Amino acid sequence: MSLEADVLVAGAGFAGLRAAVAAALSGRGLRVIVLAPHEGPGGSSFAGHAGSLGVLAPADDGERDVILERALAIAHPGTADPALVSLLLEQGEARLRELEQWGVPLTTGPGGARLRRAACFLPEMDVAAVIPDCAAAHAVLLRVAVAAGVEVLPGFTLAALGVEGGPPGSALCLEPSGAVLPVRARSVVLAVGGPASLFASDVSGLARTDAGQTGAGLGLARDCGARTGNASFLQFMWYEGGHPFAFLPERAHELEVAGMDGVPAALPRELRGHVAGRATHAPWGWGLPDAALDAHLLARMTPAGVVPVRYHGEREPRLLSLMAHAGNGGALIDGDGRTSAPGLFACGECATGMHGANRIGGAMVLAAQVFGHRAGIAAALHAHSVLMPPPPTAPDAAERQSSRHPLRLREAMQRHCLPGIPGEALQTARPGLAGATGPERQRQELELFVERLKALMQLPAVDLLDRARVLSALTVAEHRLRRLRAECASSAPNAPGASDAPVAVA
């Protein structure tokens, strides 16, 4: 027995449900199926601790021009496609109006106008609208999808694409029981989220233990030949307990960080000015000057994965953890969500190009709406023009498989693929690496990690979903390694000079 769909959508977050609705409404008569690993809200869009969500909402061409310029400016050292950023901004308002018409409320201020707030990486302008209740928004999207004829399968998880060398629609999924079910689909929309859940410290697990993502998106795309980009550029945030840590510019001179000896020391004077910049965006700023502040904190991380800090006068230290929040990398897409693998489309955190290493606050939610809508329409058109692939064969030895994350993989990703160099976590180097220091030692450790991941990929006993996760982890690690090698080369004694050129992404 196999599951058959004209359009298969993997993931039931904001991006997946939007793609499913668009496919069903534009492809009359097509069977559209959504694999929803969890019954409730899923994906990082619904993992916010406050239950609300920001969405980029420029009001006019002037604001769109400013946002376009800023989005491209903060894309370095990653890459963003100006055409995709422009498309995002041009079509965003139409998608937001549809959400409102369906019943998704946006917070309003006096007179009923949309209430807008400043966004990360664009603090000087109020350009982000607010969806006050994410769970209610998910319920609305789910209701609209079902009314459009979409079949939503709770508890079903995509585990493999392009099985046995076939097209992406030759797939395998896990049923709620863990049984492997063959899938046939004319086209596939990948909307399973980003790689943040591959890390031991993952923001999406703070609010809801059942809302975490599979972390397999990069691996699923890569396994069927789709090109990926910006893979190691995740959003990392400093959390104190279950809430983001507040960087207070007016108290920068009071911020104290514990060193290797555990004794608090004042933040170095040359870093105090960066606190003001860091306060304008919650995530670590890749390639931005204030990343020096984050690197200083990370270098003082203890083996327990925390950084003790306090403001002068406080008796007890605040224990900060660097948490992975969301991915900025994914499958490289065109304006209709097409990947380089025919028949495979991507949207949400599975896709990239509409932002680079950093993204403006609220841009991912808008991208999920704009490119989810376009990917759904394109997937439906593709489904009309191709034959149904033959059903793949489920592995005999994989009758029951777990969807849980391998703990040791998450711990290893936390050790090797953070944005900088963790402090005491790297003090006990492996034999043969004792002479290496700083970036060079981390490079050598990361090279060993990459080789272990490649070896793990060859083991026949690895479960299907775990194999996709390992390939996702390998994609992140290889991208990180290429960047680290470039950093080491530019800092070598005889290097011609540091280069700011972005590293090519496979």
- Chain centroid to Cα 189, Å, comes to 16
Per-residue confidence (pLDDT) for residue 496, from 0 to 100? 52
Beta pairing, strands 32-36 & 3-10: parallel
Measure the CA–CA gap between 506 and 496, rounded to whole angstroms: 26
Measure the CA–CA gap between 104 and 54, rounded to whole angstroms: 13
Q: How distant, in Å, are the alpha carbons of 163, 390, 438, 476 from that of 399?
A: 16, 20, 46, 29
Per-residue confidence (pLDDT) for residue 315, from 0 to 100? 87
List of residues 6+ apart from 226 with CB closer than 8 A: 331, 332, 339, 340, 341, 344, 346
Question: DSSP string spanning 203-245?
Answer: THHHH-TT----S-HHHHHHHTT--EESTT-EEEEEEETTEEP
Q: What is the dihedral of CA 363, 364, 369, 375, to 10 degrees?
A: 120
Could you identify the residue written with the tokens 């008569």?
Answer: 29
Neighbours of 465 (CB within 10 A): 30
Measure the CA–CA gap between 63 and 176, rounded to whole angstroms: 46
> How would you class 411 by CB atoms within 10 Å of its CB: exposed for 0-12, middle for 13-18, buried for 19 or more?
middle
pLDDT per residue as tens, the chain (506 positions):
789 999 999 999 999 999 999 999 998 899 999 999 876 665 555 445 457 889 999 999 999 999 999 999 999 999 999 999 999 999 999 999 999 999 998 999 888 889 999 999 999 999 999 999 988 999 999 999 999 999 999 999 999 999 989 999 999 999 998 899 999 999 999 999 999 999 999 887 655 444 458 899 999 999 999 999 999 999 999 999 888 999 999 999 999 999 767 788 999 999 999 999 999 999 999 999 999 999 999 999 988 889 999 999 898 899 999 999 999 999 999 999 999 999 999 999 999 999 999 999 999 999 999 999 999 999 999 999 999 998 888 776 545 677 677 768 999 999 999 998 887 554 554 455 445 557 788 889 999 999 999 999 998 888 899 999 999 999 999 999 999 898 888 776 665 543 333 333 33
For the chain, the 3-state helix, strand and coil shares in percent, each to the nearest 5, are 40, 20, 40
Give the 3-state DSSP-derived string for 477-495, with helices as H, strands as E and coil as C: HHHHHHHHHHHHHHCCCCC
Measure the CA–CA gap between 485 and 493, rounded to whole angstroms: 14
**Of the candidates 297, 266, 282, the residue with the CA atom closest to the CA atom of residue 361:** 282
Which H or E element spans position 142? helix 134-147
List of residues 6+ apart from 147 with CB closer than 8 A: none
